[in-house]
């Protein structure tokens, strides 16, 4: 039979764990809201930029960012989180990259021409311990994420592409679908994939004055568009992280509740058994006395 005191101690410890997971869930919920707000804040900028790009994209411009080269060196940006306790959030990223390294990018990995650039402490720790060439320049991006920080990282990759240090830049990140669902995505940041033809024909008919010229505007806007694309991935990842943490902590709280229920049952059973035993002893003792 379990020791009464031991069971009681476990109940106390599970209760406090449950309080922690509950608090973490609420903190994650608040942070998720802020992360979603950041996405909402970024949207008007991204939309307008796209609109303007479509208006000028009738001009055929050769941008160096779209140059298709024979791929020699690959940069793989792995967007992970700084903190754990968020379910399979980071593990999903690592698993996806493992598959990439074993399959599509196998040759580059073998030749050592593939660099993994982890963003976030979890990725940093993971790739430090592994046989992967890693680039840790921007691993500490999260604490004060702003567009400016994201821009620097994107510019690093873009400069690397222009200077032919990388021929291809991929980003692996968690896309935010909803609070409970994150989708791991692999997206090609560079070279730029050919843009879809403009669908917005109404806007294309407006007779704009272009200053300085259409071509120069396109040349200036394309890097901006790459940067905002990258920023969006980071914001998505941050919202996903908090969503994943919220779900994980919600599950943990539920599990703790179930465990508590069982422990309380054990506790009460044990207690009752002890009382019954005691009564039996007293009755037995009294009977022995009266019989004597």
Partner 1 sequence: MFLEIITPDRRVFEGEVDSATFPGAKGSFQVLTNHAPLISTLAQGRITYVSKAEGRRTLEVDGGVVEVLNNKISVLVERLISE
The site for partner 1 (CB under 8 A) is made up of 38, 41-42, 44-46, 48-49, 51-52, 55-56, 146-148, 151, 206-212, 216-217, 220-221, 224, 227-228, 231
Q: Which is nearer to partner 1, 131 or 207 (CB)?
A: 207
Cα separation values, 215 from 59, 62, 210, 219, 245, Å:
6, 9, 9, 6, 45
In the complex, what is the shortest distance from the CB of residue 177 to partner 1, in angstroms, rounded to a whole number? 22
In the complex, what is the shortest distance from the CB of residue 191 to partner 1, in angstroms, rounded to a whole number? 22
DSSP class per residue in 60-124: ----GGG-------EEEEEE--SS--STTHHHHHHHHHHHHHHTTTHHHHHHT-EEEEEESHHHH
Q: Which is nearer to partner 1, 46 or 162 (CB)?
A: 46
Strands 114-119 and 74-79: parallel
Query: b/e per residue, 167-190, with b = 16+ CB within 10 A?
Result: bbbbbbbbbbeebeebebeeeebb
Alpha-carbon distance 1 to 236, whole Å?
51
In the complex, what is the shortest distance from the CB of residue 142 to partner 1, in angstroms, rounded to a whole number? 15
Q: How many other β-carbons are positioned within 10 Å of the β-carbon of residue 235? A: 23
Q: Which is nearer to partner 1, 72 or 208 (CB)?
A: 208
Q: Which is nearer to partner 1, 209 or 288 (CB)?
A: 209
- HEC string for 217-253: HHHHHHHHHHHHHHHHHHHHHHHHHHHHHHHHHHHHH
In the complex, what is the shortest distance from the CB of residue 119 to partner 1, in angstroms, rounded to a whole number? 17
In the complex, what is the shortest distance from the CB of residue 250 to partner 1, in angstroms, rounded to a whole number? 30
Token pair, residue 83, equals 């903190």
Q: Which is nearer to partner 1, 38 or 184 (CB)?
A: 38
Q: Which is nearer to partner 1, 136 or 229 (CB)?
A: 229
Q: Which is nearer to partner 1, 142 or 147 (CB)?
A: 147
In the complex, what is the shortest distance from the CB of residue 96 to partner 1, in angstroms, rounded to a whole number? 27
In the complex, what is the shortest distance from the CB of residue 253 to partner 1, in angstroms, rounded to a whole number? 34
CA 91 to chain centre: 10
């Amino acid at each position: 039979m379990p020791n009464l005191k031991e069971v009681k101690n476990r109940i106390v410890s599970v209760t406090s764990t449950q309080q922690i997971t509950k608090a973490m869930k609420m903190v994650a919920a608040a942070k998720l809201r802020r992360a979603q707000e950041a996405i909402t804040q970024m949207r008007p900028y991204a939309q307008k930029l796209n609109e303007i790009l479509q208006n000028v994209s009738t001009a055929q411009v050769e941008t160096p960012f779209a140059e298709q080269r024979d791929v020699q060196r690959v940069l793989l940006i792995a967007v992970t989180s700084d903190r754990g306790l968020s379910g399979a959030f980071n593990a999903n990223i690592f698993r996806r990259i493992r598959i990439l390294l074993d399959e599509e990018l196998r040759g580059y990995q073998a030749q050592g021409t593939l660099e993994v650039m982890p963003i976030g402490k979890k990725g940093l720790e993971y790739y430090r311990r592994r046989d992967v060439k890693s680039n840790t320049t921007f691993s500490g991006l999260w604490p004060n994420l702003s567009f400016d920080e994201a821009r620097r990282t994107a510019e690093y990759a873009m400069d690397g592409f222009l200077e032919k240090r990388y021929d291809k830049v991929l980003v692996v990140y968690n896309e935010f679908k909803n609070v409970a669902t994150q989708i791991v995505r692999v997206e090609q940041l560079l070279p730029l994939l050919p843009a879809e033809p403009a669908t917005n024909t109404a806007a294309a008919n407006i007779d704009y004055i272009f200053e300085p010229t259409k071509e120069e505007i396109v040349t200036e806007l394309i890097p901006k568009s790459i940067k905002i694309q990258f920023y969006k991935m980071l914001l998505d990842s941050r919202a996903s992280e908090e969503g994943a943490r919220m779900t994980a902590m919600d599950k943990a709280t539920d599990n703790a509740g179930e465990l508590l229920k069982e422990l309380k049952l054990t506790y009460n059973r044990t207690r009752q058994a002890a009382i019954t035993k005691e009564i039996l002893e007293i009755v037995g003792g009294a009977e022995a006395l009266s019989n004597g």
